[in-house]
Chain A
């Protein structure tokens, strides 16, 4: 019985939150990796682009709520995803045409493009702050919980409760669907194959008649979908605040590089590596150990490896370690 309780504690406080957070990071990391693999630069505007898409979802959610449209027990924000994605892709294409295209045609070094993306980051941040302001916004409605701790306790008669927030379930399910479709697209369709070819060897791809304009367009479209959905899922689960999104860029980068930048499978996996590391290293294991250890060995401290203040620092340390020992990432990088 104690063992089951201990497992429930772990599930409740570490595994489910880590899966959720990992899914959010994974979507962002695949976005980073796609841009890096096909357009060949580190996009420092990642966090703010995700924030841009989410901003439209927040505004539309408020609008839908005001005219009385809702999505039953699901959050209204899910209804706004297509519109938000549309706006996001539109914005990305405008940015690409006005800013990135010039450097792509000139074949500038990647550092130059990264620097340009810093400029895009500034502009995007400005637009977001001017439109919606820097404050914290919650836009979650509908059912909050799928499973409440008290219900679970009544159901099973255990001492520990298991809580599943609806946002956690939505995040995990939506991520699986989106990522599955994307991998199918990249591997099975002709366009997806041409994108992979372009990423592997640009010149050879051009020789075999692949239209670079089309590849770039499709890349931005996929990137827009991933960025918006990732951003909205994060916003639903926590809350929407532009500054937080900018900061999230860092663990997302960490996830992409840990998995092997340029490799979407690696990025997907990297997201979970980072999330699990962050949560497992900062979780206070006292409650877990109380169940599995005999009474005499009961710990009197919190049994926390690192304080939660260092949550971000953990992901960065993992990244630094990976960069030193295996710069190409856990999976081989630079392949789509």
Chain B
């Protein structure tokens, strides 16, 4: 129990902070923050597996998050029959060509000796394939994008339940991680960081500009939800009764029947949004707990010990007969898959997919700050990091505003400096997170909850 004392204290403080937001701002905001904290926690769990267990630096978190989001669109949105009929055949042919290219290159790699001839063959296959794809896909893409561009203009998805997409998101991310890992994992740490960052940028720019896939920067809105809709709740009698019961004392204070009805309507609207967010919170909590149990089991299994051995001394581990390259690739895929799940969860929570919003600042660097602040190599620490940093990220503006008002209270309302500072309050989040990261790295480099190695 004593071992877990600091964890319990840290988590209690965090919960208290969120509850304080609920009391002072509103429960809806508190739950939004809580849900996002949970999503961030899943992302940090993924990044922590890579960095904390294996010492692999992955700055491509943004790319995996975006792929997870793409999975939601491709799985849950209803297919667009018109688009399929005008361009479906061509697009499928292109997919076939790509698969054919991959297999023929694999065949060449396996069966022909390393030589210039082999390189030319591979280059030839790639160039011919790309030209074929350009010829076949070009007109099809134009036709697909012309199908009711204001609403669809893309192929749509499969129309399956949205929860299924969380798994698909993980698989998509794992697939990307396999390719990236094959290409880049041999690089030195800082090169790997830059390479993954840039590959993620490439992925996001493809999602952004291939409109036939997921509408690109035109966004997909109104995605399916695994939770009830607010409008449905507001008209269902059981929910209204529940709210009535919950707030009976407040309602009894009303003077007239019409006033009572007004108050009740307001309460129902508020409660419906809280209810929906609670549903999401429940689902996310289940995911976080499952992942936590699995990762925790893995960390203290023989496999986890091997990973730590590889992290601490690669040469020694490989001298002991461990396949370092294979294990690195495996853990890279595993961590990225978890990040992909988080990406899918986030898009499901928002109900919309906005490729333009995937920026490295928010989806790579902030997540890394979470991992470092929370505690590398410790899953509880990683989750806490997700909570703490996300909380700061969201609440930095109100906190900054409070302090600005405090320190400039003696200045008149129209004072230029004061107005300027108040206008720039949202940017204090960068300052807060940056200084937080620098302080943690300087004075507690192992994070708030450091890695703990249980000795048997």
- A: residues with CB less than 8 A from B are 41-42, 44, 99, 102, 109-112, 114-116, 118-127, 129-130, 133-134, 246, 250, 253-254, 257, 307, 309-310, 312-313, 316-317, 319-320, 323-324, 327
- List 26 A-B pairs, Cβ < 8 Å: A41-B190, A42-B190, A42-B193, A110-B189, A111-B193, A114-B193, A115-B372, A115-B441, A118-B365, A119-B435, A122-B365, A122-B430, A125-B430, A129-B424, A130-B424, A130-B431, A133-B423, A250-B197, A253-B198, A257-B194, A312-B205, A316-B202, A320-B199, A323-B183, A323-B184, A324-B183
**Min CB–CB distance B190 → chain A (angstroms):** 4
In the A-B complex, the 9 residue pairs with the closest CB atoms: A122-B434, A126-B431, A126-B430, A123-B434, A129-B427, A316-B198, A119-B437, A309-B209, A119-B438
Q: Which residues of A contact B441 (CB under 8 A)?
A: 112, 115-116, 119
B224 vs chain A, min Cβ distance (A): 29
- 182-222 of chain B: CB within 8 A of chain A: 183-184, 186-187, 189-191, 193-195, 197-199, 201-202, 205-206, 208-209
- Contact present for B430 and A320 (CB under 8 Å): no
In the complex, whether B442 has a CB less than 8 A from a CB of chain A is yes
Q: How distant is B57 from chain A, measured CB to nearest CB, in Å?
A: 6
Q: A102-B442, A310-B209 are in contact. Are A317 and B194 (CB under 8 A)?
A: no
* B208 x A309 contact (CB < 8 A): yes
Known A313-B202, A316-B199, A319-B198; contact A111-B209, beta-carbon cutoff 8 A: no
Size category, B interface: 35 or more
Which of A44, A111, A320 contacts B198 (CB under 8 A)? A320
User: From B445, which residue of chain A is reached at the shortest CB distance?
Assistant: A112
Instruction: Give 4 new A-B contacts, CB below 8 A, not counting A129-B424, A130-B428.
Output: A116-B438, A122-B369, A316-B198, A320-B198
Chain B's closest residue to A317 (CB) is B202
Least Cβ distance of A8 to chain B in Å?
A: 29
Q: Which secondary structure dominates where chain A touches chain B?
A: helix
Binary CB contact string for chain B from 413 to 442 against chain A (1 if under 8 A, 0 otherwise):
000000001011001111101110110011
CB distance from A278 to the nearest CB of B (A): 13
| Cα–Cα distance between A111 and B187 once the two chains are bound (Å) | 13
Q: Check if B187 sits within 8 Å of A123, measured CB to CB.
A: no
* Cβ–Cβ < 8 Å partners of A127 in chain B: 431
Question: Considering only CB atoms, which chain B residue lies closest to A132 in the complex?
Answer: B424
> With contacts A118-B437, A250-B198 known, is A123 near B430, CB below 8 A?
yes
**How many angstroms between the C-alpha atoms of A312 and B365 in the bound complex?**
19
> Does B13 sit within 8 A of A, measured CB to CB?
no
Min CB–CB distance B422 → chain A (angstroms): 11
A102 and B442 alpha carbons, distance in the complex (Å): 8
Does B132 lie at the interface of the complex (its beta carbon under 8 Å from any beta carbon of A)? Answer: no
**Chain B, range 202-260, C-beta contacts under 8 Å to A:** 202, 205-206, 208-209
A28 nearest CB across to chain B (Å):
14
Does B17 touch A at the CB level, under 8 Å? no
Question: How many Å from the CB of B248 to the closest CB on chain A?
Answer: 48
Complex Cα distance, B206 from A120, in Å, reads: 30
Cβ of B387 within 8 Å of any chain A Cβ, yes or no, is no
Most interface-central of A44, A111, A122, A257 (chain B CB within 10 A): A122
Residue of B nearest to A98 (CB): B438
Contact A312 B201 (CB under 8 A): yes
Question: How many angstroms between the C-alpha atoms of A109 and B205 in the bound complex?
Answer: 32
| B368 interfacial by beta-carbon distance below 8 Å | yes
Interchain CA distance A122-B191 in the complex, whole Å: 21
* B428 interface neighbour in A42, A120, A126, A316, Cβ under 8 Å: A126
**Which residues of chain A are within 8 angstroms of B195 by Cβ–Cβ distance?**
319-320, 323
Bound state CA distance, A127 and B434, in angstroms? 11
A118 touches B424 (CB 8 A): no
